[in-house]
Structure 1
Amino acid sequence: MLKVAVIGATGAVGQEFVVALNKHRWFQLTQVAASERSAGKKYVDAIRDPSSGILRWHNREEVPEYVRNMVVSRVEDIKPENFDLIFTALESDDAKVIEPKFARTTPVISTAAAFRYEADVPILIPGINDEQVDLLNVQKKNRGWKGFIAPLPNCTTTGLAITLKPILDKYGIEKVFMTSMQALSGAGRSPGVIALDIMDNVIPYIPKEEEKVQVEAKKILGSMGKESITPADFRVSCTCTRVPVLDGHTESVFVETEKPAEAEDVKKEMLKFSRNVSIKALPTAPKEYIMVHDDPTRPQPRIDREINDGMTTVVGRLRKDTAFDNGIKYVLLSHNEKMGSAKGAVLLAELLKDKKIL
């Protein structure tokens, strides 16, 4: 068993880490850390609202027994050399300072954007760009670290990159247009979204989100060179919106392909990719990596987000596009708090262990 710590354990993403690591076959969570106001408290008390005493537990499952009485540490008191791996669920400004300190001795898997765009840092999605894990060794050499920083993509990028991969491999891609309808949980608790702003409403702007997706999708689907990644050679344009849905990011995607692509053939490619995905034997990998619906009313967040415990990317309304000479369009649903966040990070840790990077 590898010993792991979770930093930012009391927030929404941190709570998902706690659930994802419960009874894990490979990883043992032995320490949790959070802000000063939580430090010194039992975990179950640290996630209570201080004024009302209400348990601020985001997950539908109960607080796991193994962590309820674990005492929350200050981040400053974490000794990274005592762990085989550290998961972080931090804001980017904090991640910029804290994660390099840990990475000097210990691998870090991060949900923050702080290091995603640096040349020696891959943005990894298990099953999509596994070959890019080699860049972590370049990073260690460049920075003189024993560990590394491996960030997840933005949760909006995850489902998009997963569905584009089989299309890119078979047909090539010229352009991608995407409009997202993103869940409230993607905004976190702080600052979050005010209820009166989102009720009966759609917010047509999420700061920095569109720029992140446009850069990350091309880096993830790029080609690995000797010491760097060459971004994929297609254009991405997107509009990111917030909608009154609790969990699950829905995206409407239009793809101009280099070669002619029929909808039924693209479906077959997606399902073939899903059946043969490289990470299918890992403990957290879903039974179906990609699921494609023929029902034109699917996917829907309320119905489809928990398929395979939120680890499956669900596709529907796959059809020929009429605006492009060669093109298709579809709707996807990806669970932003599971595959797009903590549980996806645990899957990444499994991939790195399997490849003997951990």
Structure 2
Amino acid sequence: MKIPLVKKRVAILGATGAVGQEFIVSLKDHPWFEVTQLAASERSAGKKYTEAIRDPNSGIVKWQVGGEVPQYVREMMVVSIDQIKTDELDLVFSAVESDAAREIETKFAKELPVVSTSSAYRYDEDVPILIPGINDEQVELIETQRKNRNWKGYVLSLPNCTTTGLAITMKPLYDNYGAKRVFMTSMQAISGAGRSPGVSALDVTDNLIPYIPKEEGKVRIETAKILGKLKDGKIIPADIKVSCTCTRVPVIDGHTESVFVETSVPTKLADVTNKIHEFSDHISVIGLPSAPKDYLVVHQDPTRPQPRIDRELDGGMTTSMGRLEEDQIFENGVKYVLFSHNKKMGSAKGAVLLAEMLYKKGKL
């Protein structure tokens, strides 16, 4: 794999928010990418980064991702979106959470590649929802997108963080055994709700919230699109019926999901486990700087996976499976529990891995 002689210059949009901060951590000392511009709201523009994230009332620096603010951004000036210098960039990471995300990402995609964690473009026909290692071939839709929109750049979207774990674990099952129906119940961390408005501590303490607005529809649509096939410049969604119930639980980071899959052909547990291991061992992202050593792990211990134990596996980039069993309700089927880190593989660090995959494919 060739290594860039000169690092790619990148900007982070929404750099002061929780996801923007995850980008800053994920790109610290990155061998291929250098953060050269940080953008946020007008309120933050014109300030050094540490001042931009300081609470004006308490004076506390609101660094939300653990550890200390990385040295490399402390003195960097935050600019407004309109002040970003596109001619001095090779790539834009978008962590914009507002309703303005589509307008902002469109502006930059006219000139530059944009990798986004927002939902602004996820459901457009010529925009793939990408998980590196799962549906890499859909990257080729970039050329269709450029032609359709007359852009020099493009937009690529990550899925909703709840979809990420489901699609990753479904990929080896769907490819080897097919899938007719999937039933999933999620137990999602409070960090998945973001900070504004987020989840009230009083609402979630000693409690479970059995409804997350719009989440279930996202999972249904995105899973089928990710596992679909690219044909004649369009993604043909996978013919899978997904029914899910998405809930919020008092866990800080990481989404756990209980999954039942009706397969198209008979399965044997030992064979399913072997297929998952083979898939993980030969995953396309092996060797990329942000790729985990183990893309997927299957725990034999029936008490795993657990958020507190498994969230830091390979820096939050490993997806864990456990309780893998043949299911008796379906004529053919399996059930399992998965765990995926919503703020790492399901967000900024997954976006950085996507950018690495794009570089490897010559798309940057």
Length-normalised TM-score, structure 1: 0.99
Number of equivalences: 358
Q: Does 1:170 align with 2:185?
A: no
Q: Does 1:203 align with 2:209?
A: yes
* Equivalent position of 2:3 in the other structure: none
- C-alpha RMSD of the superposition: 0.8
From 241, 250, 271, the equivalent of 1:244 is 250
1:118-161 residue CA offsets vs partner (Å, 9 max, x unmatched): 11000010000010000011101110000000010000001100
Give the distance between the partners of 1:71 and 1:51, measured in 2 at CA.
Answer: 21
Q: Please state how far the C-alpha of 1:49 moved relative to its aligned partner.
A: 1.7
Q: Please state how far the C-alpha of 1:61 moved relative to its aligned partner.
A: 2.7
Structure 1 SS opposite 2:100: helix
Equivalences for residues 1-358 of structure 1 within 5 A: 1-91=7-97, 93-358=99-364
Q: Please state how far the C-alpha of 1:91 moved relative to its aligned partner.
A: 2.0
Contact 1:7 1:86 in 2 (8 A): yes
Give the 4+ runs in structure 1 shifted more than 4 A. none
- Letter of the 2:133 partner, please give it: G
Contact 1:81 1:106 in 2 (8 A): no
Q: Please state how far the C-alpha of 1:92 moved relative to its aligned partner.
A: 5.2
Contact 1:80 1:86 in 2 (8 A): no
Give the distance between the partners of 2:173 and 2:289, measured in 1 at CA.
Answer: 27
Length-normalised TM-score, structure 2: 0.97
Could you tell which deviates more after superposition, 52-61 or 219-228?
A: 52-61
Contact 2:296 2:320 in 1 (8 A): yes
Structure 2 SS opposite 1:348: helix
Give the distance between the partners of 1:12 and 1:261, measured in 2 at CA.
Answer: 42
Structure 2 SS opposite 1:150: strand
- Letter of the 2:328 partner, please give it: T
Q: Please state how far the C-alpha of 1:324 moved relative to its aligned partner.
A: 0.4
- Letter of the 2:297 partner, please give it: M
Structure 1 SS opposite 2:350: helix
Structure 1 SS opposite 2:233: coil
- Letter of the 1:205 partner, please give it: Y
Provide structure 2 residue ranges, at least 5 long, that are not aligned to the other structure.
1-6
Give the distance between the partners of 2:16 and 2:264, measured in 1 at CA.
Answer: 46
- Letter of the 1:122 partner, please give it: P
Give the distance between the partners of 1:46 and 1:168, measured in 2 at CA.
Answer: 46
1:51-85 residue CA offsets vs partner (Å, 9 max, x unmatched): 11122112123211000111111112112232100
Give the distance between the partners of 1:118 and 1:82, measured in 2 at CA.
Answer: 28
Task: Give the share of equivalent positions with the same residue, in percent.
Answer: 64
Give the distance between the partners of 1:54 and 1:44, measured in 2 at CA.
Answer: 10
Give the distance between the partners of 2:314 and 2:211, measured in 1 at CA.
Answer: 30
